[in-house]
Structure 1
């Protein structure tokens, strides 16, 4: 490999750092992990969770003391970009090869996976994947198996074998499509024997194998092959005519796309959630828009994807919406009436696909709803059990679009036959992998907007909901405080669990924007927690009209407006929902210097009852949590409130926590986490038939008992 070639990459990223690699010299497994992480960092090379890499090294056999060849390979599941040593499987190469002696043929592929366990060298290995023999039967020290869009575009082209031969002058072999497994490993070995000296193998409709004697040589070989594929596609774009046949419609501007998507997402989420409550993702990436706005959309979309990694994430094909990009979506009933038959037809198509292709021992029919929904002119929605899976599905379908674009530019795109696709999707080994996944948490698939959640009680609730599997919209009227919370949540949970919005609950425009954020990020909202608040403690004669208006605007009007717009989203989804209002024991207990705050809290409490009575028909439950004296991390205690309450009780501010605890029946200090636990108790499933309730979390204040 010439050093000068390293500066010529245009379509892939050269990320190798000689100093970092030098620090790993002598440890081939560490270099394998380093190379894998670099390859996984570039989505043009492989998808999230896709592909696998390996290296073969000599090691001391702990039983014989003799040197033996060991293959380290990415284990089942995992992601190249984040791969660690714990994600690798290590196997004796000679034992893996000896399995050929007992291999009973392609009809018995699945039984070989269990036998891989008899080849394990490192007892702490990750479970070996189905691709293990594909690496094991190739003799090279370092091997990369990736799913780059540019290579799959050639592999999925009608005459991909001819193009591969001509493009690489015979230096890249070709193995036609076959499901991964032991037999495919034998075919790779045969391809190499028939074509000595090749630098890689293209797998029809699937991906690419490349290799080298060292980690660096394998890395460079992989980049160069993919670069050449991508450059070839670029040369051919437009030669046969406009990409995807040219534009059929034009997209509205970004702001219109955003408004349309936010308005429609909750409706789509509801229609997708009949089997499992889904979380959504939306993108109007230019590559997506080019495809969904094209003349060839109706021809290509039903074909589905080619690479197994693609359709395992996206289902066999997307649902295309016949909606005008500028269509009015205000009449939700009319929109649903138009869309419901489309979803019913998709479910019928998927059920027929299952019934036609199933085998006697196939797993049961899975959720027949679409994963990918295309809205021409607007963008792509994807729905799955959690945000990460929905986002990754969008990435995979974008990869599929890239593949279709490339294949159409150089030849004609071909998808996998339906039976082959089914045999991958409903593979018993794939089903076993699904069954091993962790069970959903109590709030998995749920989306929560908690007002005032950048600190105090609100942040504690948001964290508890996130811990229990929910997606959360963090918001506050203080941009600085919100930024700090964002950094904290990013570090603790990652970007797929939450999003943020600046929200002043007294402004209807802010509230509307926050729900748009929720709909675009996750598809809607299931839980609304009205937690934003403030306190003013003054004697009656000192209370100003401004004080009164501020208290009622934030506490009462804010709760009303946030609930009103949240219910609008919930009704679009038709999945029910929860409204929790964080009120106060002051709603029930009278005290000095508290006319404005106490009466506003009482209004909040009764508004909750009124909403509970009205929203039951929608399956929306409204409940109240009444805390008291939650001092930790609260903005209420940063102002004059603490001084006012201390003055009212004839004590110092420093004495307030102890004073509040001692006046309770349980003699307990109340923390934000205690309120969060009460909110989870209401939403976690055990109280699913309760509404209109008041739960006191105040340590026990008899004067504030509801009855």
Structure 2
């Protein structure tokens, strides 16, 4: 037995000083406990599990004391739970619903009745787990999905193993879909086993409790610790884990290289109905499973815990590719794996037809969410990066469950009909329908050169704000680190590199493919400006402008098109050029020539790539002084000298010379990019001037 603060298999995160600050506020302590439980993925995944506390409050109508249960609301996450994400219900009224409960066939009607028991009218929607907590008398309750407990819950002889580990101190309830009746079963289990410290739910998870938030927390950790140690002590007793290694994992660099090459192909196939965002992991636990002899037996069984398969689908797709397969011939690779996707879709549709009810929602996207590549790792594809990453985390937890169950007994998955009834549950469908409308650029991935600051960062900000995942690239890594830190998790990544180096550009696209599955939008904004008269312009000046602006655009387009062709659903290439590519001005021969080359390359690429639905367009800024990197230093001084004014006078000078008398900001250029990628879906080969109106730059 462990002490209350020392654990081997879970993290003890309780901070006495923090708890002391919250003393006297039971709801705050319950939220604190929830957050630290959710911080350990071995205890529960994002969005999984539920926690609650019961307090005594003044009845709103009578003024008499009444017990109120505060519980995580529907769709919430205990790791990030706040007061806005909980529901407050009168416990007595919730329990009184037993008087009108009509049985298992009428489970779903009970959810609407939860609203009649609300104490706090600002509550979020009550969770389906509400009666499970409400029927138990304990002040603090945790419902968690720890890998070790689910392994025991999903073992063939789960009840006997529960008894072996905890004796008479733990209850056990067989699998049943969450709902009002399961709450009654928990109540019955406690009545038949007074004094128990928790209950194991068959194929599902764990319930534990305590009189204080800390006591409940420690009880949960101790039960998980005991289960984890029980499994660890038996690992290897039945032979090698998962039957031993069948396919050796490639070295890390080779794994990632293979994954980067294959990800856009998989993304294209997974996106046959709706475009998906990808995630890749070569976690050691994943590699052990996908390379094992037991993969072919265990993977088709699917997952056990409802939270797992709701996010990963009923089972993964296993690729029949050698780890070191030559992936350079995209068409050949597609041909090799397309049949596997077609078979998966057929099987999924067959699963739906075999188990659907009269009132089941329509069949959903039949493509796999989780794809396993022996020797390389695991891919997950979903509507956004967070959902894909969480799906991969859940399947990693499912692997842990299978590993533990196989070590102590034999892994069993939920019967297919039970799994279907969860996946196509009308209440789950209602939750999906309540999801907010997707943003214009959701499901899309953008690479922005020059993304470390100035116009490039403004463009990345705009694309991210409209729902895209963004990959920042720049030659200055320190600026990239700072810029990347401004985004929330799962929105961005970065890759430092020189756009004039084709190898560096390839690495940037590999990073995008590993992080997000591919690329949809390429924005070439990297640049510099040199303003000199002809006689002062050096060969070095000429070369660097041609290299960064023109050659860089060429390399980005070439690598971008390679990825887009693997995906097979088109894309966008946007070049940030300049009014100077259209207008002849003084002291500008090298810069203006390079910008004109950018503009014409756009037209050439638009003509070539149009049949593949790859749009290629140009945005021409002019006079973007505030916030633009190229106006720092010599360029601003050169332009001021050319116009016979001071550097400080430049913004007003440029504003006055356009027809609208407007200062042009980086955000204005970002809006121009968004117009092409988010609005003008049938526009290619065009130039969009964002300059406030410069008559001499009108495109003729």
Contact 2:6–2:12 (CA under 8 A) maintained in structure 1: no
Measure, in 1, the Cα distance between the counterparts of 2:264 and 2:133.
Answer: 45
* 1:13 aligns to 2:11 (yes or no): yes
TM-score, structure 2 as length reference? 0.99
Equivalent residue of 1:369, what SS? coil
Match of 1:559 in 2: 553
Match of 2:661 in 1: 667
Of 589, 607, 617, which residue of structure 2 is paired with 1:623?
617
Of 580, 590, 593, which residue of structure 2 is paired with 1:586?
580
Equivalent residue of 2:471, what SS? strand
Equivalent residue of 1:73, what SS? strand
Match of 1:239 in 2: 237
Match of 2:652 in 1: 658
1:8 Cα deviation after fit: 3.5
Query: Which string of whole-angstrom CA distances, capped at 9 and with x for unpartnered residues, describes residues 271-328 of structure 1?
Result: 0001111000000000000000000000000000000000000000000000000000
1:482 Cα deviation after fit: 1.4
Of 690, 696, 700, which residue of structure 2 is paired with 1:703?
696
Match of 1:346 in 2: 344
Contact 2:626–2:651 (CA under 8 A) maintained in structure 1: no
1:479 Cα deviation after fit: 1.6
Measure, in 1, the Cα distance between the counterparts of 2:307 and 2:641.
Answer: 66
Match of 2:682 in 1: 689
Match of 2:300 in 1: 302
Of 39, 42, 57, which residue of structure 2 is paired with 1:41?
39
Equivalent residue of 2:583, what SS? coil
1:155 Cα deviation after fit: 0.3
1:666 Cα deviation after fit: 1.0
Measure, in 2, the Cα distance between the counterparts of 1:372 and 1:390.
Answer: 9
| Aligned residue runs from structure 1 range 508-519, under 5 A | 508-519=502-513
Measure, in 2, the Cα distance between the counterparts of 1:174 and 1:643.
Answer: 78
Query: Which string of whole-angstrom CA distances, capped at 9 and with x for unpartnered residues, describes residues 165-198 of structure 1?
Result: 1110121111000000000000000001111111
Contact 2:150–2:203 (CA under 8 A) maintained in structure 1: yes
Measure, in 2, the Cα distance between the counterparts of 1:61 and 1:408.
Answer: 51
Measure, in 2, the Cα distance between the counterparts of 1:485 and 1:19.
Answer: 34
Measure, in 1, the Cα distance between the counterparts of 2:503 and 2:633.
Answer: 27
| Aligned residue runs from structure 1 range 234-383, under 5 A | 234-383=232-381
Measure, in 2, the Cα distance between the counterparts of 1:606 and 1:467.
Answer: 30
Measure, in 2, the Cα distance between the counterparts of 1:642 and 1:69.
Answer: 69
Match of 2:126 in 1: 128
Measure, in 2, the Cα distance between the counterparts of 1:679 and 1:357.
Answer: 47
Measure, in 1, the Cα distance between the counterparts of 2:238 and 2:367.
Answer: 36
Match of 2:402 in 1: 404
Measure, in 1, the Cα distance between the counterparts of 2:113 and 2:320.
Answer: 50
Measure, in 2, the Cα distance between the counterparts of 1:141 and 1:481.
Answer: 50
Measure, in 1, the Cα distance between the counterparts of 2:13 and 2:658.
Answer: 62
Measure, in 1, the Cα distance between the counterparts of 2:134 and 2:511.
Answer: 48
Match of 2:501 in 1: 507
| Aligned residue runs from structure 1 range 381-400, under 5 A | 381-400=379-398
The worse-fitting range, judged by mean Cα deviation, of 675-684 and 19-28 is 19-28
Match of 1:532 in 2: 526
1:342 Cα deviation after fit: 0.6
Measure, in 2, the Cα distance between the counterparts of 1:650 and 1:59.
Answer: 75
Measure, in 2, the Cα distance between the counterparts of 1:557 and 1:42.
Answer: 47
Equivalent residue of 1:48, what SS? coil
TM-score, structure 1 as length reference? 0.98
1:632 Cα deviation after fit: 2.0
Query: Which string of whole-angstrom CA distances, capped at 9 and with x for unpartnered residues, describes residues 464-495 of structure 1?
Result: 000000000011101221122122x2xxx312
Equivalent residue of 2:3, what SS? helix
| Aligned residue runs from structure 1 range 565-644, under 5 A | 565-644=559-638
| Aligned residue runs from structure 1 range 199-214, under 5 A | 199-214=197-212
Match of 1:494 in 2: 488
Query: Which string of whole-angstrom CA distances, capped at 9 and with x for unpartnered residues, describes residues 380-435 of structure 1?
Result: 00000000000000000000000000000000000001100000000000000000
Measure, in 1, the Cα distance between the counterparts of 2:356 and 2:686.
Answer: 49
Measure, in 1, the Cα distance between the counterparts of 2:276 and 2:155.
Answer: 34
For structure 2, the residue ranges without an aligned partner over 5 or more in a row are: none
Query: Which string of whole-angstrom CA distances, capped at 9 and with x for unpartnered residues, describes residues 365-391 of structure 1?
Result: 111100000000000000000000000
Query: Which string of whole-angstrom CA distances, capped at 9 and with x for unpartnered residues, describes residues 223-251 of structure 1?
Result: 11000000000000000000000000111
1:633 Cα deviation after fit: 2.3
Match of 1:676 in 2: 670
Of 195, 202, 218, which residue of structure 2 is paired with 1:197?
195
Measure, in 2, the Cα distance between the counterparts of 1:25 and 1:644.
Answer: 64
* 1:542 aligns to 2:526 (yes or no): no
Measure, in 2, the Cα distance between the counterparts of 1:244 and 1:235.
Answer: 16
The worse-fitting range, judged by mean Cα deviation, of 647-656 and 152-161 is 647-656
Equivalent residue of 1:6, what SS? coil
Measure, in 2, the Cα distance between the counterparts of 1:121 and 1:6.
Answer: 35
1:7 Cα deviation after fit: 4.3
1:15 Cα deviation after fit: 1.2
Equivalent residue of 2:378, what SS? strand
Match of 2:640 in 1: 646
Measure, in 1, the Cα distance between the counterparts of 2:479 and 2:147.
Answer: 42
Match of 1:68 in 2: 66
* 1:181 aligns to 2:174 (yes or no): no
Measure, in 1, the Cα distance between the counterparts of 2:26 and 2:522.
Answer: 52
Query: Which string of whole-angstrom CA distances, capped at 9 and with x for unpartnered residues, describes residues 576-608 of structure 1?
Result: 000011111111100011111111111111010
Measure, in 1, the Cα distance between the counterparts of 2:612 and 2:489.
Answer: 32
Match of 1:481 in 2: 479
Contact 2:627–2:665 (CA under 8 A) maintained in structure 1: no
The worse-fitting range, judged by mean Cα deviation, of 368-377 and 627-636 is 627-636
1:618 Cα deviation after fit: 1.1
1:650 Cα deviation after fit: 1.5
Measure, in 2, the Cα distance between the counterparts of 1:452 and 1:8.
Answer: 49
Measure, in 2, the Cα distance between the counterparts of 1:197 and 1:651.
Answer: 86
For structure 1, the residue ranges without an aligned partner over 5 or more in a row are: none
Match of 2:425 in 1: 427
1:20 Cα deviation after fit: 1.6
1:149 Cα deviation after fit: 0.2
Measure, in 2, the Cα distance between the counterparts of 1:444 and 1:121.
Answer: 37
Measure, in 2, the Cα distance between the counterparts of 1:162 and 1:228.
Answer: 15
* 1:164 aligns to 2:157 (yes or no): no
Query: Which string of whole-angstrom CA distances, capped at 9 and with x for unpartnered residues, describes residues 331-361 of structure 1?
Result: 0000000111110111111111111111111
Measure, in 1, the Cα distance between the counterparts of 2:133 and 2:629.
Answer: 59
Cα RMSD (Å)? 0.9
Measure, in 1, the Cα distance between the counterparts of 2:186 and 2:646.
Answer: 80
Equivalent residue of 1:163, what SS? helix
Equivalent residue of 1:289, what SS? helix
Query: Which string of whole-angstrom CA distances, capped at 9 and with x for unpartnered residues, describes residues 121-170 of structure 1?
Result: 01111111000000011111111000000000000000011000111012
